[in-house]
Amino acid sequence: MIIPAFLLKEQNFAIGVDIGGSHISCAAVDLVSYKVLRETLAEEAVDNKAQAEEIISIWAKALSRVMKKIPHGHLKGIGFGMPGPFDYVKGICYIKGVAKYENLYGCNVKDAISESLNVPESFPIRFMNDVSAFAVGEALKGKAAKVTRSMCVTLGTGFGSAFIKDLIPVVDGDDDRFL
């Protein structure tokens, strides 16, 4: 299903991506209301021990399915919630020593996805720690939306936590008010 025309008035969309230990889930997000458009949801199982090219191919397949449901010119970018270690600014994977995605070590995921989707190098593809992305979402529209500080803990194929202050992940500092 393509996004209905009445939703296109002055609205733009991004694709939100969750990279899990055994899957990719992605969907269009309305950048005005921050609502996930469930009719655009695409999910694929991923063998996290596969070669980098196969993993990227599966991710691109899921992203392509979502992109086809967004009218041309309305997609503003793609945001990945990605497990670490990862260079979130440059888009380079540094996962090593764990039993998932080790074959992506050293891979510039941003460049590989851009190439696979045939989008310009300048097309915005951003990365954030997966737990931080979840925590920001909760602070923006979820159970933590009514507070200025929150902490989230996740458990999947890994275990993670994130601290949020005013919708921004707190990654260092000595603010003991979270204790």
pLDDT of residue 178: 54
Regarding whether 117 and 46 lie in a shared domain, the answer is: yes
pLDDT of residue 136: 87
Neighbours of 54 (CB within 10 A): 13
Regarding whether 107 and 53 lie in a shared domain, the answer is: yes
Regarding whether 74 and 37 lie in a shared domain, the answer is: yes
Burial 10-24 (b: 16+ CB within 10 A, else e): eeebbbbbbbbeebb
Along the 179 residues of the chain, how does pLDDT read in single tens digits?
566 555 555 558 999 999 998 999 999 999 988 899 999 999 999 999 999 999 999 999 999 999 999 988 899 999 999 999 999 999 999 999 988 999 999 999 999 999 999 999 899 999 999 988 888 888 888 888 898 998 888 887 678 888 889 888 888 777 666 54
pLDDT of residue 90: 97
* End-to-end CA gap in the chain: 46
Ranges of beta strands (E only) in the chain are 13-19, 23-30, 42-45, 75-82, 86-87, 92-93, 125-129, 149-155, 159-165, 168-170
The structure's pTM equals 0.86
CATH number at 71 reads: 3.30.420.40
13-19 and 75-82 strand pairing: parallel
pLDDT of residue 138: 86
Q: Which of 115, 130, 145 finishes a domain? A: 130
pLDDT of residue 75: 94
Q: Which of 125, 129, 128, 167 is nearest to 148 (CA)?
A: 167
Q: If you ran DSSP here, which 8-state letter would residue 104 be given?
A: G
pLDDT of residue 50: 96
- Domains held by the chain: number: 2
Rounded Cα distance between 176 and 106, Å, is 35
Regarding whether 118 and 31 lie in a shared domain, the answer is: yes
pLDDT of residue 46: 96
Regarding whether 75 and 150 lie in a shared domain, the answer is: no
Residue ranges making up the domain that contains 151: 133-178
For residue 7, what are the contacts with CB-CB under 8 A and spacing of at least 6? 30, 37
CA torsion, ordered 80, 85, 88, 90, to nearest 10 deg: -120
Strand order in the sheet with 13-19: 42-45, 23-30, 13-19, 75-82, 125-129
